[in-house]
Structure 1
Amino acid sequence: MFPKTGKVMEYSVWNRLSRGISALMHPFVIPTWAVLLMLYGPTVMVNMPPRVKFFLLGIVALNTLLLPAFSIGVLRWFRVIPDWSLQDQKTRMLPMGIVAVCYLMCIVAMSNMLFAFLITRFLIAALCCVAFAFFVNLYWKISLHMTAAGGLLGMLAVVCYAGLANLQQALVGCLLLAGLLGSARLRLGSHNLAQVAAGAGGGAVISVVVILFF
């Protein structure tokens, strides 16, 4: 009895850790993390006035975190989607479309803010990652968590390479977190290894290409 109980407790602890990592690196949260790094880390945007930083952070958080989360809450309330996790491939399509619209709204709102060019480019890359995941999801279930994490890693790599930021430590930290996130998604049975790898690779490549060449 006791060994069995121990295994159940161990399983529960690892699952809770996996859910915690998945929440910390949720696709809705990652854009806000990215903008926090760009605004308050050692980047070309570090000397902006505090009010401007707060304003930019508010725009991004509203359009990429609060509005998408509220929209999915409404869909869940009216039972358009069965749960919050969006595990089913078919039920992901409408929420992903809503997220794309929210990202587009954010890009339009910031399009004339030349001082926020770095954030705007990242948001365009994020929108392209959403479009990539949307079309792949028509045929195959890809990891949205890892696509977002890959996009963040791609952005950090580009700004460090281009000399726009000194975020090498953040890049290494996010790389470790992305590895933990991939392990968490596998642990929870949300995806297989191919889906996790495709999400991470696709997100990173799209982010690098868009930010460098758009």
Structure 2
Amino acid sequence: MSDFLKSISYIFHPLFMPLLGSTFFFSKSPRYLPVEIIEEKLFSIGLLTIILPILLYLLLKTLKKVHSVNLPTTKERILPLALNCVIIFLVIERILPKNELLELYCFFIGILLSTLACLILAILQFKISIHMIAAGGVLMFIIGTSIHYQININGSIMLMCVISGLIATSRLHMRAHNNIELLIGFFIGIIPQIILLNYWL
């Protein structure tokens, strides 16, 4: 059970969640888009939100700016979070222009706002769960997609709720966060997505 809970933190790492949300959107959206365009968008999102941050992390570790992939201290989190804000901004500007895919555009604006909030809190030396920020953001985006297209995806919503619970349990089991840090992280992920629903629902 211990190994299973630890694996949850890696399987549903925050780096994978933007791609997960984007893949879900393309799989459920009734809007027609050529397969080539979908593949191009997902590849670009994966490249910028997964591969690039990993390479930057390795660079920061080489420069001794970070010491662990878990970024256990608020000081270690500041530079990676700032770089991630730049990466998300690039995704918004270069891959998901507002006039093409408004839903995903707003999803990534929400991610950017949540990341900025997490960065500000890290500067103020308050640590929250980035895992729960990501889980909360994806969960709210899935709910928004269901409302927007008026489709029954209760199974997907329930699955994401279960995943969010497993992530929280995993972080507690690993003693990476306490209950307050998990709860605040979850709401920091959800709230920007709720606010942005007004622009695409």
Q: TM-score, normalised by structure 2?
A: 0.92
Alignment of 1:128 with 2:113, yes or no, is yes
User: How many angstroms does 1:18 deviate by?
Assistant: 2.0
Alignment check: 8 A CA contact 1:89 1:141 kept? yes
Q: Cα deviation per residue 1:133-153 (whole Å; 9 max; x = unaligned)?
A: 111222311001001111111
| Stretch moving more, 73-82 or 140-149 | 73-82
Residue 115 of structure 1: SS of its match in structure 2?
A: coil
Alignment check: 8 A CA contact 1:158 1:211 kept? yes
The verdict on how the C-alpha distance between 1:103 and 1:152 changes in structure 2, with shifts beyond 3 A counting, is same
Alignment check: 8 A CA contact 2:45 2:95 kept? no
Q: Which residue of 1 aligns with 2:79?
A: 94
Q: Which residue of 1 aligns with 2:10?
A: 23
Residue 69 of structure 2: SS of its match in structure 1?
A: coil
Aligned residues: 199
Q: Which residue of 1 aligns with 2:56?
A: 71
Alignment check: 8 A CA contact 2:133 2:189 kept? yes
Which of 157, 172, 192 is the equivalent residue of 1:186? 172
Alignment check: 8 A CA contact 1:144 1:199 kept? yes
Q: Report the Cα distance in structure 2 between the residues aligned to 1:141 and 1:54, rounded to whole angstroms.
A: 36
Q: Report the Cα distance in structure 1 between the residues aligned to 2:100 and 2:30, rounded to whole angstroms.
A: 10
Paired letter, 1:199: G
- Structure 2, unaligned runs of 5 or more: none
Q: Report the Cα distance in structure 2 between the residues aligned to 1:164 and 1:73, rounded to whole angstroms.
A: 43
Say what the alpha-carbon RMSD is for the aligned residues: 1.6
